[in-house]
Amino acid sequence: MSISNRLCNATPFDVEIPYTAGIRISIKPDQSTELSLVQMEDYAPGRPGSAENLRSLLSYGCFMLDSDRSYDAQVLETLTGTISMMNQQLTEFVNELKKQQLSNGTKLDDETLQAMKESAGYGRFEERLNILRNRVKMYKKVLGGESVENTNRSFDPERTCFASNPPREFPSKLSLAIYLAENPEIAKKNGEMIKGMNNAKKAATNEQPQSSAS
């Protein structure tokens, strides 16, 4: 992982990210901007508060460029995450509306639901969501449907979570250990994947011709 100071906008929309009071980071559609050293440190993985800051970037469809990875793969990964967050936000809004209607003893029909979404500003929200979905389809068509790493990229197995898609390399062994401790389901899956890779290596080694004893 080699995070640069370049903040990229993976969407076809103008983006303004709140940074501090009175300061916003503006990025044009499909373009990028260079952050100052102080700003970059706020988004550097592994630093205090950076996880929440990076999640905020993801909500805008933006990412810090990793020069070790394919740009297109990073765009696909980012947009997939952004869409997931938008879907969750929309689902929570709709569920709350349905809950309110049930408490009033009425059923929320599709026409009324759409009108209420429009009134709350979710009409434009859904339009943007559909645009991003179509963009992801195009990226997947070219990239083979996967958020792939650079094929020349190698990972340090002691610092990498292979259960992530794509594999996520951490800054240190300790940071990976803490992440896995905080996410037991991912830790279990990661352990199973590493075991499978090790078994595959052993099988490949055993299949190699053995030199005859002299």
Q: Estimate the share of the chain in helix, then strand, then coil, as percent rounded to the nearest 5.
A: 55, 15, 30
Per cent of the chain over pLDDT 90 is 27
Write down the pLDDT at residue 206.
61
| DSSP classification of residue 1 | -
**Cα-to-chain-centroid distance, residue 77:** 5
Most confident of 55-64, 92-101, 107-116, 146-155: 55-64
Write down the pLDDT at residue 19.
86
| Segment 170-188 mean pLDDT | 87
pLDDT at 1 over 70: no
pTM, whole model, 2 decimals? 0.62
Write down the pLDDT at residue 205.
57
Secondary structure (DSSP) of 35-100: PPHHHHHHHSTTSTTHHHHHHHHHHTTEEEEETTS-HHHHHHHHHHHHHHHHHHHHHHHHHHHHHH
Write down the pLDDT at residue 33.
94
Alpha carbons 146 and 58: distance in angstroms, whole number: 18
pLDDT at 204 over 80: no
Please provide the distance, in angstroms rounded to a whole number, between the alpha carbons at the two ends of the chain.
Answer: 47
Write down the pLDDT at residue 154.
56
pLDDT tens per residue across span 113-140: 788 788 787 788 889 999 999 999 988 8
**pLDDT band (50, 70, 90) for residue 61:** very high
Helix (H, G, I), strand (E, B) or coil at 204: helix
Write down the pLDDT at residue 68.
79
Q: What tokens does 7 get?
A: 């903040």
Q: Are 122 and 97 in contact (CB under 8 A)?
A: no
| 33: exposed, middle or buried (Cβ count in 10 Å: 0-12, 13-18, 19+) | middle
pLDDT at 77 over 80: yes
pLDDT at 143 over 80: no
| DSSP classification of residue 7 | E
